[in-house]
Structure 1
Amino acid sequence: MDTFTFSKSFLNEKRNIGDPLADALIAYAFADVERKKELFDWMNGLSTNQDLQNVSPEKQTLVASIVSLPNWVDEKQMKQGAAFFGNHAAEIMNLLGLLSLPYCYTAANGAMVLYLSARMRNDAPKRLKETADFVWAIMSPVAFTKQGNGFVALLKVRLMHAAVRHYTYLNTAWKTGEYGVPINQEDMAGTNLSFSFIVIKGLRKLGYILNQKEKLSFMHLWNVIGNSMGVEQALLPNDLKQAVLLESAIKSDQFKPSTHGKELTASLIEHIKKTAGPKIDTAEITGLMNHLLGDEVAQMLGINAIKLADYKLSLLKVNSFFKEISLNDDPMFNYNAAFRAYQKQISITN
């Protein structure tokens, strides 16, 4: 990205662009019952990135846009970004629910898509598990090797987004002139930031001390992911200064209170409460959300929270310190250990 400015007119232009390659494949497949079935059967049969070789002609352009990485990609930084995730996987996964997702709900026009689909309101556990599974897939140290499934995960999400766009247009409640294209470039850029730059900010608020190399490598990995997700390069910040400016511009352009944003947040809080059980109450969940999001964003989402006690914030920071000094030097070991802990937690809560 060469520009350091993100004007309202620039962002408005991006709100009218979706994902042309994925949208074209969905339009082609959904125009015929047999083609639609074939597409879903193919997607369900995908397991590893190796399965994306020798695809049928109508799928080739989209698949190539996912697996063919641009020349600015730095594989060393990608590996460092994956290692960073492995070192902080438990905290990052918690931040997705406590920070990243509610952050996205504040973008009222973009959140309308989720609200109309009703998936987050009516089946929050499944929606959150899908998001978690996606993140685990693309953050593995072997995600983008032949044996990994990172490219497969990205393809499935792109096609799911395109299918959501297709059906959202059929909903009379959707007003393209007001909301823009469903899951448009600005919204996708904001989501990418919420999983990268906003997570970095969240870790710092939890007391983690991050060096510049760690932050930039994690951002770079998410830029690579964003590129494969169909986000335009002009919306992928290549340093922290650009990330700050882009985040601020999107926030100014899209963040506002909305009924659907508040309902989505309430559903999320209820799910977190059920998952956590009696060991943490609603006041602590909303207090932590408020601490991470900041008062302004929390108020837009209707989060009525009391301030977390100083001693609880201190405990978070102490825990962060001991976690950092006990890390293993093997990225795959850290990733696998964190993933096993996640699976164990999922089995307990289910």
Structure 2
Amino acid sequence: MIPTRYQNLEEARARFGDRVDRLAPFLLRGDPLADAVIEEMEGAPAGRGFSLLDKALRAPEPRGLDLPPAMRAYLEWASYVPAWVDWDAVRRGGELLLRSGALGGAVLGTYSLVLGYASPGGNKPLVFSGQLVERAPRRLGETSRFVQATAQPGGLLRTGEGFAITLKVRLMHAKVRQMLSRSPKWDTATWGLPVNQHDMAGTSLLFSLVFLEGIRAFGLDIDRDESECFMHLWRYSGHLIGVDPELLPASEFDAWSLAHLIRATEGRPDDDSRALTHALFESPLRQAKTAEERRLGALRRNVGMGFSRGLLGDELADALGIDRTPFVAAFHALRAVTRVAEQARKRSPAAHQKAIGTGARYWEMVVKEGLGGAPAHFAPPTRLSRAA
């Protein structure tokens, strides 16, 4: 069975050959290693399983801990570093993300996330979680924290924050997959398995290839070595979060090849796509409590929509219900300014290091603001309000 969300198959086969049919089964595949941990946690008192996982992730080595079998297997699997991982490339990939700074934050919020919402099949688990409007700022804050932790020096080492957060997010996905699979409202014939391998790979591309494309569009000058290091960072992150090895691009070329195939077989944005996008851009206004905050919120919304339209193009922006706003000029103006600044950075190693430090401080600030002082625990959800 091929889920009906997988579309335009004859046209896609003419372009991609039998790769179309080789990708299709991943719409029905989950993550057995993480799924087993969630099943195991069900038999424990509420919160105990996650507390035990958190303790194990803080320990330098899980072998001496008294862990249930599935959790032990999960952590031992994650602790093994594949031979292809190049730690210097991982570090340099993280530096690129950090130096992207505010431009990277804009790309994450107005391009990567929005393209994820545009997928009419891939967006369904998020829709079933409910609270689309109320949770929009928190979702962005938690996503920023995940990205920042991934990019930090040593973040994906066994004792790094990025490593721990990634393994927790993987179990969040597994819990959502379990709950939606049990829900009578979930339509497998249409959408495939909840949080399936196809969509996990697509999400990894949003943080890697799409992000890279976005910061380039804003004028950042990125050489071939930097871009490949960035892709390597997210290849390892994708490995840790449970993406099937067949769907982990080893290069930017591989990533573009997979992205083009996914886009060719994807339907147009639906009403859920537009609702998620609307909630994201309206969140600054909904958070405002004073007249001044409302003024700034409206400005942030309009600039965000302008950036998004500049990055997405008019056709997709229209399909997502993003306003046609004169603030798209801000995208083009910022790109011109960035290109000039990049010339100075490239001529000076000191300026390059300063850009990394400035960008890192931006990510710290935006995470603090986005989370509003409430730490992100990345615990598996206990319910999905629209799945019952």
TM > 0.5 fold call:
yes
- Distance of aligned partners of 1:298 and 1:322 in 2 relative to their CA distance in 1, 3 Å threshold: same
What is residue 270 of structure 1 aligned with on the other side?
A: 282
Residue correspondence of structure 1 range 107-126 to structure 2 within 5 A? 107-126=119-138
The aligned amino acid for 1:152 is: A
Q: Measure, in 1, the Cα distance between the counterparts of 2:313 and 2:352.
A: 33
What is residue 42 of structure 1 aligned with on the other side?
A: 52
Residue correspondence of structure 1 range 200-211 to structure 2 within 5 A? 200-211=212-223
**1:299 paired residue among 318, 327, 330:** 318
Asked if 1:182 corresponds to 2:182, the answer is no
TM-aligned CA deviation for residue 303 of structure 1: 1.7
TM-aligned CA deviation for residue 122 of structure 1: 3.3
What is residue 127 of structure 1 aligned with on the other side?
A: 139
Asked if 1:54 corresponds to 2:78, the answer is no
The aligned amino acid for 1:59 is: M
Alpha carbons 2:306, 2:329 under 8 Å: kept: no
What is residue 252 of structure 1 aligned with on the other side?
A: 264
**2:151 paired residue among 139, 144, 147:** 139
Q: Measure, in 2, the Cα distance between the counterparts of 1:93 and 1:129.
A: 11
**2:180 paired residue among 168, 180, 185:** 168
- Distance of aligned partners of 1:180 and 1:237 in 2 relative to their CA distance in 1, 3 Å threshold: same
Question: What is the TM-score normalised by the length of structure 1?
Answer: 0.88
Q: Measure, in 1, the Cα distance between the counterparts of 2:208 and 2:175.
A: 25
Asked if 1:286 corresponds to 2:305, the answer is yes
Q: Measure, in 2, the Cα distance between the counterparts of 1:49 and 1:195.
A: 28
Alpha carbons 1:67, 1:151 under 8 Å: kept: no
TM-aligned CA deviation for residue 312 of structure 1: 5.3
The one-character-per-residue Cα deviations of 1:103-122 (angstroms, maximum 9, x if unpaired) are: 01111111011001114443
Residue correspondence of structure 1 range 89-104 to structure 2 within 5 A? 89-104=101-116
The one-character-per-residue Cα deviations of 1:99-143 (angstroms, maximum 9, x if unpaired) are: 111101111111011001114443112222211111111111121
Alpha carbons 2:120, 2:273 under 8 Å: kept: yes
Q: Measure, in 2, the Cα distance between the counterparts of 1:159 and 1:349.
A: 24
Structure 1, unpaired ranges of 5+: none
Residue correspondence of structure 1 range 308-327 to structure 2 within 5 A? 308=327, 310=329, 313-319=332-338, 321-322=340-341, 325=344, 327=351
The aligned amino acid for 2:279 is: S
**2:239 paired residue among 198, 209, 227:** 227
Q: Measure, in 1, the Cα distance between the counterparts of 2:167 and 2:241.
A: 8
What is residue 381 of structure 2 aligned with on the other side?
A: none
The aligned amino acid for 2:135 is: D
TM-aligned CA deviation for residue 204 of structure 1: 1.5
- Distance of aligned partners of 1:49 and 1:125 in 2 relative to their CA distance in 1, 3 Å threshold: farther
Structure 2, unpaired ranges of 5+: 1-15, 288-292, 346-350, 375-388
Higher mean alpha-carbon deviation, 325-334 vs 54-63, is at 325-334
State the superposition RMSD in angstroms: 2.8
Number of aligned residue pairs: 345
What is residue 79 of structure 1 aligned with on the other side?
A: 91
Higher mean alpha-carbon deviation, 326-335 vs 75-84, is at 326-335
What is residue 227 of structure 2 aligned with on the other side?
A: 215
What is residue 22 of structure 1 aligned with on the other side?
A: 34
What is residue 11 of structure 1 aligned with on the other side?
A: 23
- Distance of aligned partners of 1:51 and 1:269 in 2 relative to their CA distance in 1, 3 Å threshold: farther
The one-character-per-residue Cα deviations of 1:267-313 (angstroms, maximum 9, x if unpaired) are: 01112556786342544322211111122322332223236555751
TM-aligned CA deviation for residue 157 of structure 1: 0.4
